[in-house]
Amino acid sequence: MSIYSNWSSYQKEIAEDKFYYARSCIRQNFFPGSEKAFLNILSKNLGKDILDDPLHTSCSGIAYHADILPFETTMTMVARQFAMMTEAGYENFVSSCITSFGIYSEVLETWHHFPEKEAQIREMLYKATKREFKIPQNVAHTSDIIFKFREGIREKGVNKLVNIHTGEPLKGVEHIGCHYAKVFPSKGIGGSEFPYVLAGMIEAWGGTVVDYPERRHCCGFGFRNYLVKANRGYSVSNTKRKLESMAPFQPDFILANCPGCSMFIDKWQYTLKQMDGVVYGQKAIPVLTYEELAGLVLGYDPWELGMQMHEVDVEPLLDKMGIKYDSSKKYEGVNGKKIGQPQRWEGCGKL
Amino acid sequence: MYDIIIIGGGVAGMQAAIAAKKLNLEPIILEKENKLGGKVAHKYSLFPTFSSAEQLIDRLEAQIIENKIDVRYHCEVVSIHKEELSVGYTLNVGDIKKVDNLQARSILITTGYEPFDARIKQEYGYQVYDNIYTSMDLEAMMKKGLILTKEGNTPESIAFIHCVGSRDSQIGNEHCSRVCCVTGVKQATELCQMIKGARVYNFYMDMRMFGSGYEEMYKEAQQNYQVRFIRGRVSELSQTIDHKVRLKAEDTLISKPIAITVDMVILLVGMCGAVNNESIGESAGLELRENGLFKPVNAFDSTTKSTVNGIFYAGCAESPKNISESMNQASQAILNISTYLESK
Amino acid sequence: MVDFGFSSYKSRFIDLDKVDTKLPTELFKEDEILRACIGCGGCSGACTAAQFTNFNFRLLHTLIRRGEYKEAKQEAEKCMLCGKCYMTCPRGINTRKIIQGIKRIF
């Protein structure tokens, strides 16, 4: 029998409490409120212990996948992350980025099969930093944590994924991202064929999941694709293929798992409008991170969640959910300082 | 005491019983359903002649009655005692289950096959998506004379997918089920006859037209019915918003990926061992093939003989076969049984 | 050399007499089941890379088996190792391993 037998009911082990948090390199620029929201949801709404450690670094995944760093360097950087976790007294590692999550899984799998590699990296880390580390008890992606506590979020929630005008559940497209479960199927809820991590959230919070033909297709992000301008057409073509396939279903929002996917599915909609003149959906389709969606359910202010930084405006979705927001505050920063307005296009609520 | 217990009243079992009577042997058929005919009784028509499956079963049944052959219905055989040459069976009538056994001088296993459970091939979405049916489902639809999509429309485009559950290491079936190719050609031709202007596609890996008249059917389907044959194994199916089915494959003859949206998909499901083969095999010490069918003593002059004295095979219980092969093997089995009984 | 203004053509035949069979054998070591490929195209039908490039796993390894090594390595670079082909392959060929092997051997 194949190793790919039925994954549909597959669940992975996720720790209950006491998390060491590792941030993503790019999310703070493109979806700046998401990571803050995650920390707030976990510590304030759910009462969990989570450490946001300023001492940790990038996992170096971007450089690794772009063939800039050798694997040994990446492994040593990962070892340092684990050392920071160990020194802080934590054992459950949570990564806010699926590429990092893929990197951590890959490094741990490598050490599992090649213990001499682990020994070598331990030595390299010690020589460079005098630090030592313990292997984490549990490595999870942030969406795994939100998934685990989805029922609790629903219970504490004030908003539902229901269209308040029609009473119908909102239709969500979910996109899990390649490095979440396509690298190691057993590291993702439902494996790579029955991804349930985001679908489970949408369903728990009252929405329905759109099952469209290109559901499992990659967004096209790919480090080698978008980093080199000449290859960027490849990246946008893949997102286009997905958007074309999902558009007839008229989804109310897209929920993405990966920093790259959420960024590109959002921003390519603008690019495609400018390039081909095509808008998918009535006024483009808002793209959300799972923290943003959880935040909306829990009643967070959309601008506090950083949703003004999206290329596609989220107001149509907020209106459907019946969420109040102050349009005049949209482009005000924390101290009321104007943060500047983006160029208007058809993906915006009003031109 | 009966001379032969025949397990399964499909075409092989019926033919064996009739042949036994001709040699003055006393057979009894144990049939698990409430009628004879096995899988053939569920079919609409037969290749390569397009003649009625029902008529064949009627002809055989008439001979069963004429020869006064004993048949016990609702009898599901679950084990064989090889020293006694007796079979253990459950009699299922309504909710009542009665366990019993029956002894005879010899046993012929004609348990046929079980169609591959298409749900196992998850990427083909059977019973997940609408408008995806198996070749067995299509025969039933043809019998009713109603080929309709779930929405109640006549399909204008239909795609057949070959080798579903056959030649597939991923789900553990290495064997070729042989008859699916020609079933695809037959059903494609019939759909073209039944639905004016239908566009019918066959996605195949190899077209194995092994029987007499099969290649001619294939040519006829290409030439006179414009059935489109595309050489590529379908990689995945998905549902479109209007409940049609989207297929993805490679057209291997031009080396390009290919996709098409059709109103209906038919999965040509292969043959697997009958449900009770395992328990029967284990109880009697019979060797099973990897595909769950029974393995005979050798593949040439003893295909009906098992490794246990007094137990014989015929039909698809032994290997995938068409109807004529099954019936011929049944006659051969009776000849071998007769020789065996005389030598005792 | 005399330039007559024309030249003889290079034969398009794959001349199996001249094919070095050592390299394909080396590739088979990655996963021996590759020998049993049916050429069904399930891999290339499912392939993400094939959507917008001419990458074709079935064609690639078949070319190698016929001694057409020239572009093999370059072609293999187009693979993103996502493993979808591995899941559809009816023979269960470890396609990722083969791609890695092509990159190493050729």
The predicted-structure confidence for A32-53, as pLDDT tens digits, reads as follows 899 999 999 999 999 999 999 9
CA distances from B343 to B26, B298, B303, B329, B337 (A): 17, 21, 19, 21, 10
On average, the pLDDT of chain C sits at 90
Pair type for strands B256-262 and B245-251? antiparallel
Dihedral over Cα of B131, B134, B140, B142: its sign:
positive
In this structure, is residue C3 part of a structural domain?
Answer: no
B252 touching C, CB under 8 A? yes
Inter-residue contact A4 to A135 (CB < 8 Å) = no
A342 compared with A131, residue with greater pLDDT? A131
Examine residue B48 and say whether the peptide bond preceding it is cis (omega within 30 degrees of 0). Answer: yes
**Cα separation, B204 vs B193, whole angstroms:** 21
Every domain of chain B and the residues it spans: 2-112+274-343, 116-269
Biggest CA pair distance of chain C: 57
Contact C92 A2 (CB under 8 A): yes
Phi, psi of A169 (to 5 degrees): -65, 145
Contact A212 B169 (CB under 8 A): no
In this structure, is residue C61 part of a structural domain?
Answer: yes
CA distances from B309 to A193, B101, B334, B335, B341 (A): 49, 19, 14, 15, 10
Residues sharing a CB contact under 8 Å with residue C12, sequence separation 6 or more, in sequence order: none
Cβ burial of A167 (10 Å; 0-12, 13-18, 19+) is exposed
H or E element: which one contains A291? Answer: helix A290-297
In this complex, which of A4, A6, A214 lies closest to B170 when CB atoms are compared? Answer: A4
Residues 49-88 of B with CB under 8 A from A: none
The pLDDT of residue A32: 87
Please tell me the distance in Å from B170's CA to the nearest CA on chain A. 5
Question: What is residue B178's three-state secondary structure?
Answer: coil
Residue tagged 């190691």 (tokens) = A184
DSSP type of residue A53? -
> Which residues in chain C are closer than 8 Å to A218, comparing Cβ atoms?
48, 80, 82
Answer whether residue C36 shows pLDDT above 90: yes
Answer whether residue A346 shows pLDDT above 90: no
Give the torsion through C-alpha atoms of A103, A106, A107, A113, to 10 deg. 180
Inter-residue contact A88 to A53 (CB < 8 Å) = yes
CA atoms within 13 A on the CB side of A177: 31
The mean per-residue pLDDT over the stretch A53-71 comes to: 93
Inter-residue contact A135 to A93 (CB < 8 Å) = no
Question: What is residue B72's three-state secondary structure?
Answer: strand
The pLDDT of residue A349: 52
- Give the Cβ contact number of residue B337 at 10 Å: 28
Q: How confident is the model at residue A201 (pLDDT cuts 50, 70, 90)?
A: very high
Q: For an interface test with C, give the residue of A2, A7, A67 to mutate (most C CBs within 10 A).
A: A2
Q: Going by CATH, does the domain composed of A19-142 fall within 3.90.550.10? A: no
Contact A2 B240 (CB under 8 A): no
Hey, what are A63's tokens?
């450089």
Pair type for strands B86-93 and B75-81? antiparallel
CATH: 3.20.20.10, 3.40.50.2300, 3.40.50.11810, 3.40.50.300. Which one for A159-329? 3.40.50.11810
> pLDDT below 70 — which residues of chain B?
none
C78 touching B, CB under 8 A? no
How many beta-carbon pairs below 8 A join chains A and C? 21
**Cα separation, A127 vs A107, whole angstroms:** 19
Q: How confident is the model at residue A348 (pLDDT cuts 50, 70, 90)?
A: low
Answer whether residue A132 shows pLDDT above 60: yes
B103 touching A, CB under 8 A? no
Pair type for strands B113-115 and B271-273? antiparallel
Chain C's closest residue to A3, CA to CA, is C87
DSSP type of residue B227? P
Chain C's closest residue to A177, CA to CA, is C82
**Cα separation, A325 vs A332, whole angstroms:** 13
Residue count of chain B, please give it: 344
Residues 21-40 of C with CB under 8 A from A: none
The pLDDT of residue A139: 97
The pLDDT of residue A2: 40
Q: What is the second-level CATH architecture of the domain B116-269?
A: 3-Layer(bba) Sandwich (3.50)
What is the full DSSP assignment across C11-56?
A: P----GGG---HHHHHHHTT-GGGGG-----HHHHH-SGGGTS---
Percent of chain C with pLDDT over 70: 100
Residues sharing a CB contact under 8 Å with residue B302, sequence separation 6 or more, in sequence order: B296, B336
- pLDDT, one tens digit per residue, over B298-318 is 999 999 999 999 999 999 999
The pLDDT of residue B282: 96
Dihedral over Cα of A218, A220, A221, A224: its sign:
positive
Q: Reduced to 3 DSSP states, what percent helix, strand and coil does chain B have, rounded to the nearest 5?
A: 30, 30, 40
**Cα separation, B296 vs A19, whole angstroms:** 61
**Cα separation, A162 vs A319, whole angstroms:** 11
- pLDDT, one tens digit per residue, over B134-172 is 999 999 999 999 999 999 999 999 999 999 999 999 888
Cβ burial of B99 (10 Å; 0-12, 13-18, 19+) is exposed
Q: Which amino acid is at A81?
A: Q
On average, the pLDDT of chain A sits at 92
The pLDDT of residue A6: 65
- Give the Cβ contact number of residue B140 at 10 Å: 14
The mean per-residue pLDDT over the stretch A125-134 comes to: 96
Over its C-alpha atoms, chain A yields an Rg (Å, rounded) of: 20
**Cα separation, A266 vs A347, whole angstroms:** 10
In this structure, is residue C6 part of a structural domain?
Answer: no
Every domain of chain A and the residues it spans: 19-142, 159-329
Residues sharing a CB contact under 8 Å with residue B300, sequence separation 6 or more, in sequence order: none
Pair type for strands B96-109 and B2-7? parallel
Q: What is the second-level CATH architecture of the domain B2-112+274-343?
A: 3-Layer(bba) Sandwich (3.50)
**Cα separation, A261 vs A175, whole angstroms:** 8
In this structure, is residue C12 part of a structural domain?
Answer: no
Residue count of chain A, please give it: 351
**Cα separation, A257 vs A260, whole angstroms:** 9
Overall domain count for chain C: 1
Inter-residue contact A132 to A122 (CB < 8 Å) = yes
Answer whether residue C71 shows pLDDT above 60: yes
Q: Which amino acid is at A192?
A: S
Contact A234 C83 (CB under 8 A): no
Please tell me the distance in Å from A6's CA to the nearest CA on chain B. 8
Do the domains B2-112+274-343 and B116-269 sit in the same CATH topology, yes or no? yes
Q: How confident is the model at residue A5 (pLDDT cuts 50, 70, 90)?
A: low
Contact C59 B235 (CB under 8 A): no
Q: Which domain holds residue C45?
A: 19-105
Answer whether residue A4 shows pLDDT above 80: no
A211 touching B, CB under 8 A? yes
Query: Which residues, listed in sequence order, are joined to residue B6 by a DSSP beta bridge?
Result: B29, B108
Residue tagged 């469209």 (tokens) = A212
